[in-house]
Amino acid sequence: MSSSGSYINSLSVDCVIFGFDAGDLKILLIKRKEEPSAGMWALPGGFVDPLESLDHAAMRVLEELTTLQNIYMEQVHTFGEVHRYPLGRVISVSYYALVKISDYEVKATSKIEEAVWHPISDLPALVFDHRIILEKSLNHLKEKVKFHPVGFELLPEKFTLTELQNLYEVILGKELDKRNFRKKILGMDLIIKTSESQKGVAHRAARFFRFDPERYKLLIEQGFNFKL
Amino acid sequence: MSSSGSYINSLSVDCVIFGFDAGDLKILLIKRKEEPSAGMWALPGGFVDPLESLDHAAMRVLEELTTLQNIYMEQVHTFGEVHRYPLGRVISVSYYALVKISDYEVKATSKIEEAVWHPISDLPALVFDHRIILEKSLNHLKEKVKFHPVGFELLPEKFTLTELQNLYEVILGKELDKRNFRKKILGMDLIIKTSESQKGVAHRAARFFRFDPERYKLLIEQGFNFKL
DNA sequence: GCAAAAGTGTTTCATTTACACCCATGT
DNA sequence: ACATGGGTGTAAATGAAACACTTTTGC
């Protein structure tokens, strides 16, 4: 074992921020303004302050960028290859976040850097090992949605069943049967029919539903397991 | 966002080393000889050297302790609460490892510290936040075994179906039906019947089986999904 | 009235669960 | 001969998958 001495390292967090819009899963990237790799696209990130936790640092990065709060966020993996960053050794703890783009677009005041949503099906080259970080988060998300109702974090408060189905189809990368999907999701008793419907659409208006987190907590306590 | 400056942190890895023996899931703990908390039980761990990756550091800690190599190991989570360690800020990246205790007991030359297997059902108090680190790894393991054939990493090369079933029962924390278990596991075509059987047991001798990793790779390529 | 998406049940098939007795070995 | 764990199949219930037509709305 090493002596009890400490080593100097830089510690950063990088955030993979997922959104869902126009039928596409997207992530928020910033265009770097500083060297190294100025002008290239990168995951939003920053150094961890000496007196903040990792979770706090990740939240801070996200809030500074989007002005959003109460975002679903989870640590994914820590990247510590010696030469992953060209100017010295930097350890990066990655987080992924799920945001409702509809909220974001209203409030965004991205102070620092140019932040743009990119569809995951068409991503630019990323700096350093950010592509790998992204892939790891994406895989994590794909596994997560199968057994936890996190998909709702990506949709507006009120959504149609078709929107929900599209979301799952995009994340899981496969088509789902409409009737089976509705049967299953409604049978779980997790989403509630609202009194509102779409307006001004050139077809039969779809009913809006909303997720019921209280009900979910209760079901969990009773041993319920979400399974898509 | 912070300026591009770096911050000084200590970075360590802590290993949750699982073993299975006498029908019990166990973890390997060391008795600390240094302050702080000398004499208390702790997860094996150590500082990350400036020129080694995180994975390398974790492997090194494990090999120094057990002299084992080619161990199944996986990063779980990074703990970064500001005051988790009393003498200063230390970030800890946790890993879990699965070892075959039967191998270990032959080769062990634990050089540094007293290392003892403790059944998870009866653990001593642990230093710092090691209890939380352990719990997180245990939960991770519980989820992992359901969908990945990692249980075999905890058993000897050759094992009986009853041993395998006991292992799963202990990890999952519930009883399994003998006939259904055998039907399912044999139906996957992942384990091979050897020509050997138990000897000297006071009942009908059980057949030994072994896991076939080549076969598993092949099945994976064909889209097979392990599911217990 | 036509284009476009919403909404709705039944049948078939696959998977999971429940369950009980005979077999081989050592003492 | 008895105690101990090894080994085996079938039937019922549950869950998953396949599948087509009617409804509502805007143009």
What are the pLDDT digits (tens) for A3-17? 344 445 699 999 999
> What pLDDT, in 10s, does the model give residues A97-134?
999 988 776 555 555 668 899 999 999 999 999 999 99
Render pLDDT for B182-192 as a digit per residue (tens, 0 to 9): 999 999 999 99
B115 contacts B65 by C-beta, under 8 angstroms: yes
In the numeric block, which tokens belong to residue A120? 């995951």
- Mean pLDDT for A149-173 is 96
**Strand C contact at CB of residue A180, distance < 7 A:** yes
* pLDDT more than 90, % of chain B: 79
Q: If pLDDT is split at 50, 70 and 90, which confidence band does B3 have?
A: very low
The C-alpha atoms of residue B135 and residue B154 are separated, in whole angstroms, by: 18
How does pLDDT run across B111-122, given as a tens digit for each residue?
Answer: 566 889 999 999
Which of these CATH numbers, 2.60.40.10, 3.40.50.2000, 1.10.10.10, 3.40.50.2020, describes A148-221?
1.10.10.10
- B227 pLDDT band, cuts 50/70/90, is very high
Q: What is the percent of chain B with per-residue pLDDT over 70, rounded to a whole number?
A: 92
pLDDT band of B5, cuts 50, 70, 90 = very low
Question: Range(s) for CATH 3.90.79.10 in chain B?
Answer: 8-144
Q: How far is CA B42 from the centre of its chain?
A: 15
CATH architecture of B8-144: Alpha-Beta Complex (3.90)
Looking at the DSSP assignment, which residues form a beta bridge with residue B95?
B15, B75
Spell out the residues 6+ positions from residue B29 whose beta carbon is closer than 8 angstroms to its own. B41, B42, B43, B44, B115, B116, B117, B118, B123, B124, B126
**Number of helices (H), then strands (E), in chain B:** 6, 9
pLDDT tens-digit profile of B142-177? 999 999 999 999 999 999 999 999 999 999 999 999
Q: What is the mean pLDDT of residues B193-206?
A: 95
Mean pLDDT of A148-172: 96
The catalytic residue among A105, A114, A157, A196 is: A114
pLDDT in tens, B62-107: 998 888 888 999 999 999 999 999 989 999 999 999 999 887 765 5
Say yes or no for a CB contact (<8 Å) between B10 and A7. yes
Q: Quick count: other Cβ atoms within 10 Å of Cβ A145? A: 20
- The token duo for B120 is 């998870």
- Containing A146, the helix (H) or strand (E) segment is helix A130-147
Are residues A29 and A115 in contact, defined by beta-carbon separation less than 8 angstroms?
A: yes
Nucleotides in C strand less than 7 A from protein CB: 3-10, 16-20, 23-27
Tell if the CB–CB gap between B46 and A1 is shorter than 8 Å: yes
Residue A177's Cβ-count burial label (10 Å; 0-12, 13-18, 19+) is exposed
Beta bridge partners of A30: A42, A115
For the stretch A127-145, pLDDT in tens is 999 999 999 999 999 999 9
User: What value does the mean pLDDT of chain A take?
Assistant: 91
pLDDT digits (tens, 9 = 90+) for A17-60: 999 998 999 999 999 888 888 889 999 999 999 999 999 999 99
Report pTM.
0.92
A164 three-class SS: helix
Preceding amide of A44 cis, omega within 30: no
Q: What percent of chain A has pLDDT over 70?
A: 92
Cis status, amide bond into B86, omega within 30 of 0: no
- Looking at residue A137, its pLDDT comes to 98
User: Which residues belong to CATH 1.10.10.10 in chain B?
Assistant: 148-221
**Residues B228, B152: contact at Cβ < 8 Å?**
no
Instruction: Decide: A98 and A153 in contact? Cβ < 8 Å.
Output: yes
Length, in residues, of chain A: 228
pLDDT tens for A63-90 read: 988 888 889 999 999 999 999 999 899 9
Mean pLDDT of chain B: 91
Alpha carbons A55 and A72: distance in angstroms, whole number: 12
Residues with CB under 7 A from strand D: A 177-180, 184, 197, 199-205, 227; B 160-162, 178-180, 182-183, 197, 202-207
Calculate mean pLDDT across residues B23-49.
92
B52 vs A52, A55, A82: nearest CB = A82
| pLDDT at residue A4 in the model | 40
Tell if the CB–CB gap between A48 and B5 is shorter than 8 Å.
Answer: no
